[in-house]
Amino acid sequence: MITKTSFVVFALALTLNTVSAQEVKQYGQLKVTGTQLTDKHGKPVILRGMSFGWHNWWPRFYNQDAVKWLHRDWKCSVLRIAVGVEPHDAYLQNPAKAKEKIKAVVDQALKEGIYVIIDWHSHTIQLNQAKAFFSEMATLYGKHPNVIYEIFNEPEKNTWPEIKAYSTEVISAIRKIDKDNIILVGTPRWDQEIHIAADDPIQGQKNIMYTVHFYAATHGKWLRERSDYALKKGLPIFISECAGMEASGNGPVNSTEWNEWMNWADKNKVSRVIWSISDKKETCSVLYPTASSNGNWKDSDLTPWGTETRNMLRSYYK
């Protein structure tokens, strides 16, 4: 029998647990100190979480209940909104749909007290559209410390001078509105040529970081060595997309390399976001099509990658 007193104690414990899990309340306004992401007191912060799949292909997961579940059950401290840009029904064709999905996730992330990355999920330069998009996002959300801007997902064929020039303009557009929130800058060849950016970083801007993406069965020690080089040169790194299989999103998970990457990221206090909340028939999808659109996923709804990812994220939760 639950007495009134025991119910009050239970409710208080639940409330305290919820408050302690609100990372933005704990860390506040993030900033970059040297190569490190730090909190409002200048202490190192490691964010860990999940990336949604492209919004135009997996829109069903872009809702407040899925955000709640990923925070409260999966223990994500950060979520990434993959705003598809070029494909059919993506941002360039249907900006209203994209903004609807962004709003659903960001609004709930604010309520949950977690960080959220608005990712311009493009492989090519779309300068004018990106400037307009991020100016709008900064106007809507720039007052909230939760928001991080990822201004170029994975540059495919552009050189670093081209990416640098593009990034400088988009950063300037954001900074006219939002002076403080973290901005993530892409690097050449799907975010694997971090060493080139390290030799010629963007100057005169604060609170920017540079992205590395890896798929452990394809990108191994050589990319960690490039990342080590970048850190030694003073370049701050944020892993905004990663997974354990091949770069195609398929093939077996290379657990040895995946664990090497996780150990490397922990050692260097590098944040990371895992790909992806989707139900496509490929290794990197964490869900089967049986999964509800609204979270509350059963073990049977999780793919092997989903089970491994959830277990790992929960293991960091204290």
Segment holding 168, helix H or strand E: helix 160-175
Bridge partners, residue 238, by sequence: 211
Whether residue 20 has a cis bond before it, omega within 30° of 0: no
| Spatial separation of the C-alpha atoms in residues 109 and 97, rounded to whole Å | 19
| Spatial separation of the C-alpha atoms in residues 284 and 280, rounded to whole Å | 8
Q: What are phi and psi of 31, to 5 degrees?
A: -150, 165
Give the residue among 214, 210, 182, 184 at the shortest CA–CA distance from 197. Answer: 210
Structure token pair of residue 306: 């989903």
| Spatial separation of the C-alpha atoms in residues 231 and 221, rounded to whole Å | 15
Q: Catalytic positions, please?
A: 154, 241
